[in-house]
Every structure is written in structure tokens, then in C-alpha cells.
Amino acid sequence: MEQEKAISALQNQTHGIIILDTVVSYSRMFARLAMGLDKQPQLIAHLTTKSNSSAGGGGGGDDSGPRETLPERAANTIRYAFVACLNDRTGSSSTGLSPTGAPEGKRRGIYTLANLCLKILFACRKTRGAAQIFENIFVQSPPLRNPEARKAPTFDLKDVLAIFRWQETIYATPPGATQPDNYIDPDFVGMVDEPTGEDALDLPDMNNIHSKMTALIHQGLLGGYISFSREKFAIQGAKLKGALAAGFPNAWKTIEARADAEVPGWKLETSAPIHAGGVVRLSGVRPVGLS
């Protein structure tokens, strides 16, 4: 495969940098192809059938365990390029960064290739290898000190939390009241120390915000990433699309793009002849022998 040949060339310590941009371009195309075919497996069903027949002896099966899926194979192939960039030791400093804070040598491809691997694994729900990628980045990759990365528009998650808490309080407060209505039966008044006002509400905390935000990012409804150490959300792609369009994609278009035309359990009416398991309509049927 051309991708594997390119990655093999990338691993050359002296001249591998020459082919880095080619490998990244190949990887982007490979990732898109793998995710597209995973959504439409019928396009390669004939190839899969032939492969299984030749490997399993016509359905005899084997004991080697579950086969590697196409997305997993694509992610693992790109992972080799990611590791090659991660292990690069060329450059003017031990940190892998230039004096301006930009990654040097093949390390320029670390985050791009890692992002492609993670995108494939999460999109196809094959997340077993994601933890290893994160661990490799944490241990070996240079810090993101690129000045361009710091210019990403951000907003503070503490502000998001404050808005959520304020909104929940407003919903629980009757019109004209100054605090939430926490009714206590008269028979129980004074028996226990009942919380009042906001203390009686189940208001969200930062863990709730993290959960909601990461879920929206995973679904493609937010464009960016969370910095947990700074409690901020950073928008990606703002320079190309603008902060609003990049950070908050159109919800309907996002959902429609990954929707399947088939609806589980939806039986379509057809005019085909009745067959086993079909619906038989008995209206107008007469008993046998009657005219």
C-alpha cells in the first residue's frame, strides 16, 4: 500500500522530513475513506466476503479472535506515522520546539496525525487504542507553545456554569417570588433543618459542565476542545470560518450528515406478492364451500 511505503520512508532519520507533508495528506485522505466506507459497508461487501472466504476456508472460521475492522486498520496505519514523528530527535533543541515555539522537524506532524487517529476511532466507536495515543502525547510530545494555538478564541467554563446555575434557579422561582419555592408540609416544619433557596436545588457543578461539553464535542455540535487545567473551551478553525461558525456548527446539518437512511423497525408497505412472514389481510374472505 502506498500509505505504508510513505510511512516507511518517513521513518528515515535523515531524510524522512522530506515526505512528512505527503504522509499527512495521505493520512487525511485515508482517514476520510475509512470513515466513509465504515458508514457504507455495502460498497466493499464483495471484497469483505472474498477475504473472509479465503481466510476462513469457506466459513470454517478460525480461533484468532475478532478481525481488525477497516477503521481500526486505518488508525493503526496512521499510528505508525504518528510514532515516527513522536520519536524524531532532530532540531535545534531537546524540547522539539524552535525559539519561536513552533515544533521542529517531523514533530510538526505529531498533533495532526494523532488527531486523525482519534477522529477515526471515536467516529467509528473503536476507542480501545485512544488511551495509548493520549499517553504517548502526554509523555513524549512537545508542549503546544505555537503562538497561533494561543490565539484560538476561548470562553471560560466557569461562566458557562454560572449561566446554567442561574437558569436553573430562575426556572425554580415562581413569578413574583424572590427565591425558589421549596414547599415543606406543615406537619414537618421545624423537625429537620431543611435547605432553603438555592441550597435546596440540585444545581449543576463543573463535572456536569464537563460532561455536557464533551458530549457535544463528540457529537460534532461544538467545534473545539476543552482545556481542563484552565477550565476553558477553545474554538478550532476560527481563522477560516469565523468563531461562531467554527465553534457552533449548524445542528441540523451536523446530525443529517451522519444520519442513516434506514429507520430500525420501520416496515415499508409494498405491493410485492405475499410471502412467508408477510401480512395477510382477511377482509372479504368467505368460508370454504359457500358461494
Mean pLDDT of the 6-26 span: 85
**CA trace torsion 48, 51, 56, 58 (10° rounding):** 80
Report how far residue 82's alpha carbon sits from residue 191's, in angstroms, rounded to the nearest whole number: 64
Contact 96, 103 (CB under 8 A): yes
In which region does residue 98 sit, left (phi positive, over 0), alpha (psi from -120 to 50) or beta (all else)?
beta
**Neighbour order of strands in the sheet with 154-156:** 154-156, 232-235, 224-227
Residue 63 has pLDDT above 60, yes or no: no
Report how far residue 166's alpha carbon sits from residue 164's, in angstroms, rounded to the nearest whole number: 5
State the Cα angle at 272 between 268 and 274, rounded to 5°. Answer: 100
Burial group, residue 8, by CB count within 10 angstroms (0-12, 13-18, 19+): middle
Tens of pLDDT, residue by residue over 167-206, are 888 877 777 666 665 656 666 666 655 555 555 577 889 9
Contact 38, 69 (CB under 8 A): yes
Percent of the chain whose predicted confidence (pLDDT) is above 70: 66
* Distance, CA of 43 to chain centre: 23
Q: How confident is the model at residue 73 (pLDDT cuts 50, 70, 90)?
A: confident
Report how far residue 261's alpha carbon sits from residue 189's, in angstroms, rounded to the nearest whole number: 57
pLDDT (0 to 100) of residue 191: 61
Domain residue ranges of the chain, discontinuous segments joined by +: 2-148, 154-257
Helix (H, G, I), strand (E, B) or coil at 233: strand
pLDDT (0 to 100) of residue 59: 45
The terminus-to-terminus CA distance of the chain in angstroms comes to: 74
Tens of pLDDT, residue by residue over 241-266, are 888 999 999 999 988 887 777 766 77
Tens of pLDDT, residue by residue over 107-151, are 888 888 988 888 888 877 777 777 778 777 777 766 655 444 456
Quick count: other Cβ atoms within 10 Å of Cβ 128? 9
Helix (H, G, I), strand (E, B) or coil at 224: strand
Report how far residue 160's alpha carbon sits from residue 233's, in angstroms, rounded to the nearest whole number: 10
Mean pLDDT of the 6-32 span: 86
DSSP state of 156: E
Contact 141, 86 (CB under 8 A): yes
Quick count: other Cβ atoms within 10 Å of Cβ 215? 11
